[in-house]
Amino acid sequence: MKGRKLLMIPGPIEFEPSVLGVMSEPTDSHVSPEFIECFGRALDMLKEVFFASKCQPFVVAGSGTLAMEMAVVNLIEPGDKALVISAGYFGNRYYDLLLRCGAEVKILNASIGDVPTLELVEKTLRENHFKLVTVTHVDTSTAVRTNVQEIAKLTHQYDSLIVVDGVAAAAGEPMFQDEWGVDVYLTASQKAIGVPPGLAILMVGPKAMEVFHSRKTVVRNYYPDFANWLPIMKAYQARQPSYFGTPPVNLIRALEVSLGFILAEGMERRFARHVRIGRAFREAMKSLGLKLVVQREDIAANTLSAIYYPDGVDQNILVEISRQGVILAGGLIPDIRNRYFRVGHMGSINQGDLLATIGAIEAGLKKSGYVFEIGAGLKAAQQALLE
């Protein structure tokens, strides 16, 4: 389509035409038998996507930040101790959020592009008891991936709940929620789940539901209170009508379509595709002589990348890359905001999108006066993709 630009930011992403198509159909009643079936199926499919047969799904109108908030306002009571394992901007957001909930919060940070070590996490858990630990699966500000499986093991050993912000990882990076024992996995619709912005999604495990049910104080915030949403989710799962707050009918229909695509691809194949695409993109950037924000390959996210501008190049390159037909995102970490850019490569992205993006970056670099071998990034990506 001439004039159409490719949206390669780390969310919202490019959506499947049939996902967008279903959103334009007439809005149904939220208690019609057809919509009840659709919502019920979407909730069932979420359990498959996250390998979370024991978990309770919640899908409510709101962005990822609401999902973050819902997870902790329902589990934390004033004075409870919480630990935040941060790898950037969104880890820090959890710190602020938990303070608002009246928790006593400790935060573990790492240098930019790294994660707090497992040794440090273990030492911290050994020295203090925390009711809850939050981890960002992929921090979108740095494109760093945390080892959720190992951190979940540690939190069990030290008897804490683990809440994982999977907004930039879900349905792209592996998540085996029952097996790993992740108490809450949360995300939003606009990233690898493949639905326009507007849905907050949480998968809540049995231990977290138990902790919620044994609260001594009422949840202060009305809208995010699990007590209001649990009967609604259970009703849709049982294919019964119910009402608390009007669900975003068209978005839920889009969710059902997108989850169908995700499951048709197969989760293992989908994870492997993200690994292949992520690696090819990083190889391309390195071949152009660019430096990634993430410090090591073993903690590099496969859903997005963050790349430093080379010497002599600044954020104006993003305007040039957009002229080339590809929209990318600027930096987010305050200390280095104007020194790097971010590229999303998750969800329905295909190899053509990836190569078009690398081509546009090469064109932008050339126009910015950066000296490199034209085609070096494309060649490296092709090689990695064809391996």
Nearer to ligand PMP (CB atom), residue 41 or residue 274: 274
Contact 9, 342 (CB under 8 A): yes
Sheet containing 304-308: give its strands across. Answer: 304-308, 340-344, 329-330
- Select from 58-66, 106-114, 119-127, 276-284 the region that touches ligand PMP (CB under 6 A): 58-66
- Select from 20-28, 63-71, 222-230, 281-289 the region that touches ligand PMP (CB under 6 A): 63-71
Upper half-sphere CA count for residue 85 (Cβ side, 13 Å)? 34
- Select from 61-69, 97-105, 305-313, 337-345 the region that touches ligand PMP (CB under 6 A): 61-69
The CB-nearest residue to ligand PMP is: 64
Nearer to ligand PMP (CB atom), residue 183 or residue 362: 183
Q: 3-state class of 10 per DSSP?
A: coil
Provide the minimum distance between the beta carbon of 60 and ligand PMP in the complex, in angstroms, as a whole number.
Answer: 13
Nearer to ligand PMP (CB atom), residue 40 or residue 174: 174
- Select from 79-87, 118-126, 162-170, 341-349 the region that touches ligand PMP (CB under 6 A): 162-170
Nearer to ligand PMP (CB atom), residue 100 or residue 123: 100
329 contributes a contact to ligand PMP by CB under 6 A = no
Provide the minimum distance between the beta carbon of 178 and ligand PMP in the complex, in angstroms, as a whole number.
Answer: 22
| Count of beta carbons in the 10 Å neighbourhood of residue 47 | 18
**Residue from 65, 109, 228, 295 in contact with ligand PMP (CB under 6 A):** 65
Q: How far is it, in rounded angstroms, from Cα 232 to Cα 221?
A: 17
- Select from 43-51, 59-67, 107-115, 360-368 the region that touches ligand PMP (CB under 6 A): 59-67
355 contributes a contact to ligand PMP by CB under 6 A = no
Contact 354, 365 (CB under 8 A): no
State both tokens at 311: 């010497």
Provide the minimum distance between the beta carbon of 214 and ligand PMP in the complex, in angstroms, as a whole number.
Answer: 28
Length of the chain: 387
**Residue from 9, 72, 154, 168 in contact with ligand PMP (CB under 6 A):** 168
Contact 329, 9 (CB under 8 A): yes
Provide the minimum distance between the beta carbon of 347 and ligand PMP in the complex, in angstroms, as a whole number.
Answer: 13
Q: How far is it, in rounded angstroms, from Cα 60 to Cα 230?
A: 11
Distance of CA 382 to CAs 9, 122, 281, 284, 350, Å?
A: 21, 41, 10, 9, 13
167 contributes a contact to ligand PMP by CB under 6 A = yes
Contact 222, 74 (CB under 8 A): no
Nearer to ligand PMP (CB atom), residue 136 or residue 258: 136
Show the DSSP H helices in 101-129 as ranges: 118-127
136 contributes a contact to ligand PMP by CB under 6 A = yes
Provide the minimum distance between the beta carbon of 32 and ligand PMP in the complex, in angstroms, as a whole number.
Answer: 28
- Select from 35-43, 160-168, 280-288, 357-365 the region that touches ligand PMP (CB under 6 A): 160-168
Label residues 308-338 b or e (16+ Cβ within 10 Å = b).
bbbeebeeebbebbeebbbbbbebbbeebee
Q: Are strands 184-188 and 199-204 parallel, antiparallel or unpaired?
A: antiparallel
DSSP 292: B
In angstroms, how far is CA 375 from the centroid of its own chain? 31
Nearer to ligand PMP (CB atom), residue 65 or residue 147: 65
165 contributes a contact to ligand PMP by CB under 6 A = yes
Nearer to ligand PMP (CB atom), residue 327 or residue 376: 327
Provide the minimum distance between the beta carbon of 136 and ligand PMP in the complex, in angstroms, as a whole number.
Answer: 5
CB within 8 Å of 212: residues ≥ 6 apart: 74, 75, 204, 226
Q: How far is it, in rounded angstroms, from Cα 345 to Cα 302?
A: 7
* Type of residue numbered 126: R
Provide the minimum distance between the beta carbon of 255 and ligand PMP in the complex, in angstroms, as a whole number.
Answer: 15
Binding region for ligand PMP (CB under 6 A): 11, 63-65, 68, 90, 136, 139-140, 165, 167-168, 188
